Chain A
Amino acid sequence: MTVHRKAVLIAAAMAATAALALSGCSAGGGESADSLDGSQLLTIPREDMGTFDRNFNPFANPDFPMTQQAIFESMLVYNPADGSTTPWLATEWEVAPDSTGITYHLRDGVKWSDGEPFVADDVVVSFDLQREVRGGFDYIESVTAVDPHTVQFDFNQPFSPALLDIGQQVIAPAHVWADVDDPTKFANEEPVGTGPYTEVTSFQAQSFDLGKNPNYWQPEKQKIEGIRMLAFSGNDGANLAAANGDVDWAPQFIPNIDEAYVAKDPDNRFFWFPPTGSMINWQFNTTKAPFDDADVRKALSMAVDREQVTEIGMQGYTRPADCTGLTGSYDSWRDEAVVESCTWTARDLEGAGELLDEAGITLGEDGKRVLPDGTPFAFDFSVGSTSSDWVSVGNVIAQNLAELGVTVTVAAKDWGDVVAGYENGTFDSGIVWSANAPTPYQFYRGAMSTETVKPVGEQTFDNYHRYGNPEADALLAQFAAASDEAAQHEIMSRLQALFADTAPVAPLFPGPEWGAASNARFTGWPTEDDPYATLSTRARTTVLVLTSLEPVVAD
């Protein structure tokens, strides 16, 4: 009996060892041997939805994959990676001298995927629908179809950022949507659009395919056969698919991307994270003393080692911010004079200490700073617990501030809780995103306009730090009224100087636009050397990528 048991034990141990040893082997070729004959579908993962519901409504369901990118198009496309604007459904436009209106001239010969011609009435109806379903565009007084190829927008106030704001609205067909009873609830299961890939050739909960638009206005740019979206319940499944080569485009966040993704096929795979996401700020609740003092804010900002924050917290995928608070999208607006003359985004413990001393926050016996009333200078840093990279950033900042004698406690909670604190103004400080529109107008408005300030206790969705400066209001109004580019740049420089002077928030780093792709099955991707678009699948520039990619044909 004992011998028998021993044999069984030995056999089990060997089996277990064999299994462990096998799993240590490198993965045997995961590439599926599908023939590269040019008809392969561009395969893209979507990691935050789990399953797909068949709803291609661009107004009520704008985040659905490829609806606003492959099916519907806008009048122009602004590329934040290089600051260029590409005319798309509109070929020319004229801005009224006092920025109270714009006239767009639509492209000839564009047809909807059902064969009907694209006309100005479609634009009029689209704006009506957008305002009905989601609101916004409050500055628009009226939209008129002057003739079938000309649309005129009239505003109730001067608003120069409207050019790109209106230009990037997706356009839907009037002849389909006019018959819809409730545009908010309309599922639009068989979408009609002007985009390159509008035909739903297959739709399942786990994936769907989009085929070519038979009436596309740029048929020579429809080189790829179609698009296939795969659904995943979280980043892990999507990252596995990317690492294994089962998808061509990986727009999600991949940790340790060099080893996890690029190293598996370094000849074909690459990643590029342009700093064109929204600026990530360390915001302070300016309704709570001592955060209402600009010098205190600057001092706290000076204690942060932004190099460490970007290297350790963000794994080196982005770069430190400067005093203008502008991301890489706004390189053409950036005033270098402001950048050079301003010091509070560079690490300077001594300078920070001096500013705090002047504000009455002095070092105590134990090396910790105390407020004028004797209480220790300690506060919370709010961050959502699921954003592990931002939690790391918070930890780095807490360490940096400890060297100044300030105690910062990282309070990582559920994002819903954190944002509720921001909205009601009950937070101390925290990490937060900012507005990311084609011009810096919305960013500065959200950062320091009195119009966006709401009292503590009243729920707000903008300007959580509740700082307002009447000078900023005046400059923003001037910017909105200026239609001359030179005038706009001059006003924007003054806004940057004001931001650098008052430090409403402490900008940390521009959020990187994640994106990785492989040249194994498709070529023609945007890269750092050729930034004709970003590698995002949810941006307006995605359609530029879709119309530039070419399939690889293996001989």
Chain B
Amino acid sequence: MGYMLRRFGFYLVAFWVSITLNFFLPRFMPGDPVSRMVARLQGQIRPDQIEALRESFGLSDAPLWEQYLRYLGQIFTGNLGFSISRFPTPVIDVISSVIGWTFLLGFVSLIIAVVIGNVLGILAAWRRGGVLDSFVPPLLIFIGSFPYFWLAMGLLYLFGVTLGWFPLRHAYEVGTAPEFSLAFVGDVAYHLILPATSIVLVSVGGWMLGMRNTMIATNAEDYIVMAEAKGLRANRVMMQYAARNALLPSVTAFGMSLGFVVGGALLTEVVFAYPGIGYTLLAAVQNLDYPLMQGLFLTITTAVLIANFLVDIVYVRLDPRVRVS
């Protein structure tokens, strides 16, 4: 219990440091949002409209520490302000309208990559020197080293355009409305196949290699020899003894990756026109959209910290040594 409280306290401090950085870092970037908007619209904004624009964005000339205190207050009341690059939509609405898709894409891809990668890693380490161990890790790393957008575009062109097996864009059939029906869920899954496959292909190699290496180290432990000597089935030893212990680093890595899922997959969204937060974040940074950047960084920070906190809790369940210490 004391351990939990200590961890919680640590995370609160980390949270405060993050939101402070979230506030100051964007403001160190040169330029101002109005100037960037003028550059982006290239002559479509009339010069006499600039002043009113600046006012409506709520850009303040108050000293930085005053703005910082106001920012802290706004966070705790949940008021994230109005986005500048997507004016006048409130930041909460911008984020909430697409965060679901980002989370779906990221989470599904992550789970599949983790499961496949870890299972392959376990099997590869168990049968060292076999086909699985010799060919598959280098092959997967090789595939994963391709530039992501090249891989994604290749998949899109081969399976989408040429063969026509999968849809070319978006999260579901255009014109249909989301609903909780089997047909809609099937449609979403169908549209998810290519984008998720592209992400899985680039990341599964890393999971497999990590799990394999940890398993090889674990296989050398004495308790594995003991279990085999006791006459337990090979599969049981592999899963219940070796894999359980080798899983721990994977769990930590999984927690970290889970948090960053809400950062969005920019290149996936660009290639597959998948609705998500990645492109919004890029546009926010390019346009110096302080409120939206703050809101998005806050979301990512919170997600990462919560994911890590959950992983810490799960770790206590998985690894008795942590409970004791």
Shortest Cβ gap from B160 to chain A (Å): 9
Q: Are B46 and A136 in contact (CB under 8 A)?
A: yes
Residue of B36, B154, B156 with most partner-chain A CB within 10 A: B36
The distance in angstroms between the C-alpha atoms of A55 and B50, with both chains bound, is 21
Query: In the complex where A22-B158, A206-B171, A420-B31 touch, is A185 in contact with B82 (Cβ < 8 A)?
Result: yes
Supply 20 further A-B pairs (C-beta < 8 A) apart from A135-B51, A206-B170. Answer: A25-B162, A50-B283, A51-B276, A53-B93, A53-B97, A55-B88, A61-B87, A136-B46, A138-B48, A185-B82, A205-B101, A207-B170, A231-B273, A237-B270, A241-B169, A384-B39, A416-B39, A433-B42, A460-B47, A462-B47
Please report whether the interface of chain B is mostly helix, strand, loop or mixed according to DSSP: helix
A27 at the interface (CB under 8 A from B): yes
Chain A residues with CB below 8 A from B42, complex form = 278, 433
CA distance A454 to B174 in the complex (A): 50
Query: A232 to B35, Cβ gap below 8 A?
Result: no
Given A23-B154, A135-B51, A416-B288, A246 and B178 contact (CB-CB distance below 8 Å): no
Q: Size of chain B's interface in residues, with CB distance under 8 A?
A: 64
Can you list 9 A-B contacts with CB-CB less than 8 angstroms, sorted by A residue number? A30-B164, A50-B283, A53-B93, A55-B89, A61-B87, A135-B52, A206-B174, A237-B273, A452-B47
8 shortest A-B CB distances, which residue pairs? Answer: A135-B52, A50-B279, A419-B39, A233-B279, A237-B273, A462-B47, A433-B43, A53-B89
Q: Which residues of A contact B (CB under 8 A)?
A: 5, 8, 19, 22-23, 25, 27-30, 41, 50-51, 53, 55, 57, 60-61, 63, 132-136, 138, 184-187, 202, 204-207, 209, 228, 230-234, 236-237, 240-241, 244, 246, 278, 384, 415-420, 423, 433-436, 442, 446, 452, 459-462
- Chain A minimum-CB-distance residue to B169: A237
* B325 → chain A closest CB, angstroms: 47
Given contacts A237-B273, A416-B31, contact A207 B174 (CB under 8 A): yes
With beta carbons under 8 angstroms apart, the residue of A228, A233, A442 that contacts B273 is A233
> How far is the CB of A96 from the nearest CB of chain B, in Å?
22
Q: Say yes or no for B177: interface residue by CB 8 A criterion.
A: yes
Task: Mark out the residues of chain B between 280 and 300 whose CB falls within 8 Å of any chain A CB in the assembled complex.
Answer: 280, 283, 286, 288
Least distance between B219 CB and chain A CB atoms (Å): 23
| Structural contact, A205 and B162, CB atoms closer than 8 A | no
Whether the Cβ atoms of B177 and A202 lie closer than 8 Å is: yes
B97, B135, B161: which contacts A27 (Cβ < 8 A)?
B161
Q: Which of B27-70 contact A (CB under 8 A)?
A: 30-31, 35-36, 38-53, 56
- Whether B131 contacts A134 by the Cβ 8 Å rule is no
Docked-complex contact B48 and A135, CB < 8 angstroms: yes
A-binding residues in B (CB < 8 A) = 30-31, 35-36, 38-53, 56, 82, 86-89, 93-94, 97-98, 101, 131, 135, 154, 156-158, 161-164, 168-172, 174-175, 177-178, 266, 269-273, 275-276, 278-280, 283, 286, 288
Q: Please indicate which of the listed interface residues B47, B101, B157 has the most CB atoms of chain A within 10 Å of its own CB.
A: B47
What distance in Å separates the Cβ of A507 from its nearest Cβ neighbour in chain B?
14
A436 proximity list for chain B (CB < 8 A): 43
A185 cross-chain contacts in B, Cβ below 8 A = 82, 88
In the docked arrangement, what's the CA distance between A28 and B159, Å?
A: 11
Bound CA–CA A186/B56 (angstroms)? 12
Chain B residues whose CB sits within 8 angstroms of the CB of A57 once the complex forms: 88
- Within 8 Å by CB of B275, from A184, A205, A246, A423, lies A205
Contact B43 A435 (CB under 8 A): yes
Assuming A50-B280, A419-B35, is B275 touching A60 (CB within 8 A)?
Answer: no
- Give complex CA distance A55, B52 in Å: 19
Q: Given the known A-B contacts A435-B43, A461-B38, are A206 and B51 also in contact in the complex, defined by CB atoms under 8 Å? A: no
Chain A nearest Cβ from B81, distance in angstroms? 11
Report A-chain residues with C-beta under 8 Å of the C-beta of B157. 23
Instruction: List residues of chain A with CB within 8 A of the CB of B36.
Output: 415-416, 419
Contact A8 B49 (CB under 8 A): no
| A232, B169: Cα distance in complex, Å | 9
Q: Roughly how many angstroms separate A19 CA and B43 CA in the complex, as a whole number? A: 47
**Are A60's CB and B87's CB within 8 A?**
yes
Q: Would you call A233 and B269 a contact (CB within 8 A)?
A: yes
Query: Whole-angstrom distance from the CB of A450 to the nearest CB of chain B?
Result: 15
A278 — which chain B residues lie within 8 A by C-beta? 42-43
A214 and B12 CA atoms in complex are apart in Å by 56
A50 to B296, CA, bound (A): 16
Contact check, A133 vs B56: say whether CB atoms are below 8 A apart.
Answer: yes
- A contact residues around B172 at 8 Å (CB): 206
- Closest residue of chain B to A445 (Cβ to Cβ) is B47
Interface centre among B157, B174, B270, B283 (most CB of A within 10 A): B174
